[in-house]
């Protein structure tokens, strides 16, 4: 029988996309899903997807629902090799989650995040059946000049001052999609900082959580303990994405998936939650605010304090993330509340679980999630 899927998901083997797939596999919608997976064969794609879903606590029984016909083998850097797959002709909803989300200057950032997404979008525009194209951006695409809290739908245009090549690429693809397809059913969702899972901690991914581990190990960072940070868990992010793709009508075309001013936590609150969970004292007065240059002077102690690591990568990570942390970026999320969603749980409610599930992993290993 011909397989006629209605939902196409890219990035299902990534952190956020994997959480979305783990949510979908528990619903009747799964039978109508099609996934873009980097694999040489559909069976290899099934294996890759199953491996990621297992990290999201999907049972073996549910994993048996993954079928080879649900897999398109390919990536956003080779759209021409799969854009004529006949299964795409029945797709009406797209969740564009795949991206190279690296804090470094990875050579595939622009070809994937901009050129690849545009090539895919053009193909779906030719097919002409879309009900919704939900593109996952990043709240940090707002740029350094943004007001705090950052309003939803904020766009500084040519004045946008990007944090990183990654955030610049995510802003650019939004701009190009809107310019080329002004009448499209495009919805852009911009997650803030996605850290851990409320039930699984860092089991699915240690992305970003290593920042808190570094700060606690060094007992210093570029931010004051009273600085608030806008963090959401990946399962909440997946819940919102599922809601935005399923709801028949939406009030807006731009949304933040964020903690917002209501649920953002201070570094002091996060540290206290972690300390309580593992039976330690909070850092308190032992913590010092230091400039990047002052932290760089400590690099001879990194191995003792952080474990085996590449000092150059650690310093680059502190410089990159420190710019976010120092600015105290917060993102308004009123539109999600209007759409009927609850506020996310604060990081303090599951930070201890993130620490416990990171216990046997080197900080340098966790950093690989963000430095590809």
In sequence order, the β-bridge partners of residue 190 are 256
The CATH H-level (homologous superfamily) assignment of domain 7-196+231-261 is NAD(P)-binding Rossmann-like Domain (3.40.50.720)
To the question of pTM greater than 0.85 for the whole model, the response is yes
Domain boundaries, the chain: 7-196+231-261, 209-229+264-329+346-367
Number of neighbours of residue 167 by Cβ within 10 angstroms: 23
pLDDT tens per residue, range 78-112:
999 999 999 999 999 999 999 998 777 788 899 99
105 burial level (CB within 10 Å; 0-12, 13-18, 19+)? exposed
Note the pLDDT of residue 273: 97
**Residue pLDDT, tens place only, 229-275:** 999 999 999 999 999 999 999 999 999 999 999 999 999 999 999 99
pLDDT of residue 326: 61
Q: Which residues touch 120 (CB under 8 Å, ≥6 apart)?
A: 10, 76, 79, 83, 94, 96
Does 325 score more than 70 pLDDT? no
Percent over 70 (pLDDT), the chain = 98
The pLDDT tens digits for 128-152 are 999 999 999 999 999 999 999 999 9
Give the pLDDT band (50/70/90) at residue 317. confident
């Amino acid at each position: 029988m011909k397989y006629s899927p209605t939902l196409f998901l890219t990035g299902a083997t990534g952190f956020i996309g994997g959480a979305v797939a783990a949510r979908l596999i528990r619903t009747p919608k799964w039978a109508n899903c099609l996934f873009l997976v980097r694999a040489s064969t559909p069976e290899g794609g099934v294996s890759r997807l199953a491996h990621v879903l297992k990290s999201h606590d999907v049972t073996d029984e549910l994993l048996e629902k993954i079928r080879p016909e649900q897999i398109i083998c390919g990536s956003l850097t080779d759209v021409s090799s799969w854009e004529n797959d006949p299964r795409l002709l029945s797709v009406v909803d797209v969740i564009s989650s795949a991206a190279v989300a690296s804090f470094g200057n990875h050579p595939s950032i622009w070809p994937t995040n901009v050129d690849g997404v545009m090539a895919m979008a053009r193909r779906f525009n030719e097919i002409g059946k879309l009900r919704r194209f939900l593109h996952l951006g990043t709240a940090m695409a707002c740029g350094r000049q943004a007001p705090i809290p950052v309003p939803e739908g904020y766009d500084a245009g040519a004045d946008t001052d990007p944090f990183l090549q990654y955030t610049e690429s995510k802003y650019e693809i939004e701009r190009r999609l809107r310019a080329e397809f002004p009448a499209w059913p495009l919805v852009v969702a911009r997650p803030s900082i996605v850290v851990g899972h409320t039930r699984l901690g860092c089991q699915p991914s240690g992305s970003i959580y290593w920042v808190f581990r570094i700060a606690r190990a060094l007992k210093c960072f570029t931010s004051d303990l009273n600085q608030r940070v806008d963090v959401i868990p990946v399962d909440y992010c997946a819940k919102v994405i599922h809601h935005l793709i399923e709801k028949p009508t939406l009030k807006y075309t731009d949304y933040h998936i964020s903690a917002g001013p209501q649920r953002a936590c201070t570094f002091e609150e996060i540290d206290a939650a972690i300390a309580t969970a593992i039976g330690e004292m909070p850092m308190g007065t032992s913590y010092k605010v230091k400039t990047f240059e002052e932290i760089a002077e400590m690099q001879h102690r990194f191995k003792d304090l952080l474990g085996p690591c590449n000092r150059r990568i650690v310093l680059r990570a502190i410089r990159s993330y420190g710019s976010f942390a120092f600015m105290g970026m917060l993102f308004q999320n009123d539109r999600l509340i209007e759409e009927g969603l609850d506020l996310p749980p604060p990081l303090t409610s599951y930070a201890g679980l993130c620490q416990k599930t990171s216990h046997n992993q080197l900080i340098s290993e966790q950093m690989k999630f963000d430095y590809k």
